Amino acid sequence: MSKRQMLTGNAAAAWGARLSAIDYLPAFPITPQTEIIETLARWIDLQEFDARFVSMDSEHSMITAAGAAAATGVRVFSATSSQGLLYGMEMLYTAAGWRSPFVLVNVSRGLAAPITLEPDHNDILAARDSGFLQLHCATCQEVLDAVLLAYRIAEDSRVRLPVIVNLDGFYLSFTREPVDIPAQEQASCFLPPFDALDQGFRGGRPCNAAVAVLGGSTYSYFRYQAHLAALNALDVMAECTAEFADIFGRAYSAIEAYRCDDAEVVFVMLGSFATKAKAAVDLLRDAGQAVGLLRPFLFRPFPAEAFRTALTGKRGVAVIDQNLAPGSGGVLHNELAAKLYDGIGELPVLVSFIGGLGGRDIGPEEFCEMARVTLKAAEEKQSPPPRLLYTEKEWRAMKKLQAIALHQDSEDRA
């Protein structure tokens, strides 16, 4: 029997790991994910569940330990954030190349410099080509559920790749929401013990397993095999989410569609800020505008076919990126643009917006303005240049601070 509690996103992630019956927890603290590891460590200390916790000396060694342990056939969990994810980036590629199936939670936080503790998605999107699959959560309930789903997908024999479950720092990590916590029996029914197949190390069965330095032909083959395995995750996820709905009564899919069936203009965005977009869609619908929302729950592999199907017949698409790739633009916009040109009939007009950087809010009036700009672009059949969401008031305040700094610098020089 499930129970409902008010949980932070961090606590929901910890519950997801606990219900997954993890065996090994290598960890290193970093704000704002530390609460996940603290919660799990407390439960282990209280002997509320059985797992081995090891405090590592860095994120690099943490991910190394996670990948190596998963290769021995145990269920592994860890968590990180922001600069920590980047510090362990080398080992993301390595662990994925090992085909070690484990789950890593990332609590998104903007990257330095300048320094911020608030969220955006540049950290997680920097890892998009590492070989890790990615699930992006919008609510605390999704965080718990995504961890369970991630293990089912990662450990499937058709995939065998690690998965990152992403949640936004502070907006989800420290925000309490009602969360249904499944009974352990339910969770175990959905997620049985990790079957390592023929993978694993045993003292009584010595063996040698390693990654050799390979030539280009062999290297290409193994890299392509990982690519095909990632694509398999699309079908595996569809199967897992159907079973998840039967057991827990909550339905998930690669893309969440909200009021899209008759929409002319569609917002597309990742993460918890999509809940703001939902509220804006309701507001615009009340005003008589046919607006909807598409939110990718699965980002790697990219659900291209689902997007093509959902956007067929739409007039305009406002892609709202909570990230910025300097010299290129929004990552989600670029990915979606590339995939839409791969088989759809008449293309909707795509308009790129950059917002929410460093946790900056996106207000209802800005969603209304984005809908207006996108509809105008659809009527003119012309996409405007990418636009940074930034108010005139904010711009004046930055100019004032700049003028003060220049004046102070001038006085210091004098």
Residue 197 DSSP code:
T
CB 298 within 8 A of CB 252: no
- Distance CA(291)–CA(194), nearest Å, equals 43
Q: What is the pLDDT of residues 286-300, one digit of tens each?
A: 999 999 999 999 999
> Does pLDDT of 347 surpass 90?
no
Whether residue 215 is predicted with pLDDT greater than 90 in this model: the reply is no
**What percent of the chain clears pLDDT 90, i.e. is strictly above it?**
86
Please say if the pLDDT value at position 205 is more than 90: no
Is beta strand 163-168 parallel, antiparallel or unpaired with respect to 133-136? Answer: parallel
| DSSP string covering 326-343 | TTTB-HHHHHHHHHHTTT
* 96-154 per-position pLDDT tens digit: 999 999 999 999 999 999 999 999 999 999 999 999 999 999 999 999 999 999 999 99
Gap between the Cα atoms of 364 and 7, Å rounded: 26
Structure tokens at 8: 């932070």
Q: Are 77 and 25 in contact (CB under 8 A)?
A: yes
Return the pLDDT at 391. Answer: 87
**Does residue 35 carry a pLDDT above 90?**
yes
pLDDT of res. 1: 75
- The model's pLDDT over 219-245, given as tens digits with 9 standing for 90+, comes to 999 999 999 999 999 999 999 999 999
Does the pLDDT of residue 210 top 90, yes or no? no
